[in-house]
Amino acid sequence: MAGTIISTFMLLNDSINLVALQEDLETRVGVTASVFPFVAVYILLGNSFLEEFFFRGLLVDLLKESRLKWFLPSLFFAIYHIAIFLPWFEWSILLLAVVGLFIGGLIFQWMNEKSGTIYPSWIIHIFADIGVLLIGVYMFYIK
């Protein structure tokens, strides 16, 4: 997952305005280079678990045996991320990200169905977030 995210970033790097992204994170969200490590730990361990608990735990349990339990949580997971990504990417990249998140959500749900728990999707989610956070490391500390 991390490799896929980093490879996609490298492929689309010319279409991503890292300066504008960093400025938005700093001014609108308050994420600066000095607080980034703390935010990264929260994203890896806290936020990823909360998202998996809600989207692949609670929502799936509410939908029980309905076939919708495969598609609605994945769709909501993808739509939820639009609010995060909207100010950062042009529409084509945003659409690609949403499709990738939807497909990722389906994969996460399939893994959970096999194991009967949300832990597989949480672990995969952590690795996906590692890819995103490595891009953050590049943006804040290297570029």
Query: For residue 90, what pLDDT is reported?
Result: 85
Query: For residue 36, what pLDDT is reported?
Result: 98
30-63 in b/e form (b: 16+ CB < 10 A) is: ebeeeebeebbeebbeeebbebbebbbbebbeee
Query: For residue 85, what pLDDT is reported?
Result: 82
Query: For residue 17, what pLDDT is reported?
Result: 87
pLDDT tens, per residue, the chain with 143 residues: 899 999 999 999 888 889 989 999 999 999 999 999 999 999 999 999 999 999 999 999 999 889 899 899 999 999 999 888 877 888 888 899 999 999 999 999 999 999 999 999 999 999 999 999 999 999 999 98
> DSSP letters along 62-116, please?
HHTT-THHHHHHHHHHHHHHHHHHTTTS-HHHHHHHHHHHHHHHHHHHHHHHHHT
Which tokens belong to 106? 């389906």
Closest-CA residue to 23 (of 83, 80, 94, 88)? 88
pLDDT tens-digit readout, 112-126: 999 999 999 999 999
Answer yes or no: pTM beyond 0.85: yes
